[in-house]
Amino acid sequence: MIMATEFQIGVLDASNTREEMWKLRAEEDGEYRVELASPNGAIWSAAGDDLFEALKSVRLQIEPLGYLLLCNGARIDAHPSGMSRDTTGGRTLYLLKARAARTRVFIFDRANPADVGTVADQREFYQAWLRTPRRQRLIDRARDAVLELRVRWRDR
């Protein structure tokens, strides 16, 4: 059974001054697929192991044309955990702050233009975040584990 969801998603143009609303379709049927359609009829699509990978592949197709998606999946400080990828298919991401992922967000929800960047920007931020020393208190790790379990239970 194919599960498909459609979204209206903001796209910033090459001059970073004008925002347009484009259609994004996310599908799950054994593999994950994302299709992005501009108002003028151009379509880009990609498949991946999860929605985050499929979205990243579509972003790599539109970035050379000067477009940036305005969604959490394009935030430079957002990345899914391994567990999130396994349990939600990359639908939920963490906003990465000071070596501790605190806030969970939905991949296709709107993001501010100041928070988004290219796939390369996002990869660079994530690599830098991985290199920062861990200073997370035990209580914070326990809270994060409980939140993760709650989301896993809800998404079953």
Return the number of other C-beta atoms located less than 10 Å from residue 56's C-beta. Answer: 19
Residues, the chain: 156
44, 74, 76, 85, 130 from 67: Cα distances, Å: 12, 11, 15, 26, 27
Share of the chain above pLDDT 70, in %: 87
Question: pLDDT for 15-49, tens place per residue?
Answer: 777 899 999 999 988 889 999 999 999 999 999 99
pLDDT band at 88 (very low <50, low <70, confident <90, very high): confident
Q: Which domain holds residue 22?
A: 3-154
Please give the DSSP secondary-structure letter assigned to residue 65.
G
Rounded to two decimals, the pTM is: 0.75
pLDDT band at 134 (very low <50, low <70, confident <90, very high): low
DSSP codes joined into one string, 81-141: -HHHHHHHTT-EEEEEETTEEEEEEETTSB--GGGB--HHHHHHHHHHHHHSPP---HHHH
Report how many domains make up the chain.
1
* Residue 11 pLDDT exceeds 60: yes
